[in-house]
Amino acid sequence: MEKIKDYFLDTYALIEIVKENQNYRKFQDTFNVTSLMNLLEIHYIISSRFGIKEADMIINKLKEILISAKIEDVKDASGFRIKNVKKKFSYIDCLGYSIAQNRNFKFVTGDNQFEGFSGVEFVK
């Protein structure tokens, strides 16, 4: 199966792109994916700060890059969270990281907890 996407964008990355952080500019011109759970998280964050209308507009644009989780992703995310329990990763982050790992995408984040992890492109 040929990979057609380059990066999995976690919620941190999506927010930074929306904020037009120049360090995330390169991801605007690449092929990216994210999960439905990350859209839930970004919708909540944008709604609480700027209102539902703004949040709806943003996730309507982002729905184009959705990728579905598979049962193996869920199992791997659970194992990853157990293995890294001291880091207190969120379930959404564990699922996103597992999706990225299982499909050979770079997991893009600025979340300090992921700094130094394999397969992560850490950007602040």
* pLDDT at 28 (0 to 100): 82
Angle at 74 between CA 7 and CA 35, to 5 degrees: 35
Residue 7 has pLDDT above 80, yes or no: yes
Distance between CA atoms of residues 121 and 66, nearest Å: 19
Q: Using one digit for the tens of pLDDT, what is the confidence trace for 69-101?
A: 999 999 999 999 999 999 999 999 999 999 999
**Look-up of token digits 């194992």:** 79
Cα 97 to Cα 116: distance, rounded to the nearest angstrom:
13
pLDDT, residue 1, reads 44
Sheet of strand 120-122: strand arrangement: 32-33, 7-9, 106-109, 120-122
CA distances from 62 to 18, 31, 41, 65, 123 (A): 10, 12, 12, 6, 20
pLDDT in tens, 44-61: 999 999 999 999 999 999
Residue-averaged pLDDT of the chain: 94
The answer to whether residues 98 and 77 touch, using CB atoms and an 8 Å cutoff, is yes
Give yes or no for residue 3 having a pLDDT over 90.
no
The answer to whether domain 7-122 has CATH 3.40.50.1010 is yes
Listed in sequence order, the DSSP H helices in the chain are: 11-18, 36-50, 52-62, 71-83, 91-102
pLDDT at 5: 59
Q: Is the confidence at residue 2, as pLDDT, over 50?
A: no
Region 3-22: mean pLDDT is 88
Q: Provide the token pair at 45.
A: 């964050």
Q: Which two tokens stand for residue 68?
A: 């579905």
pLDDT higher at 28 or 76: 76
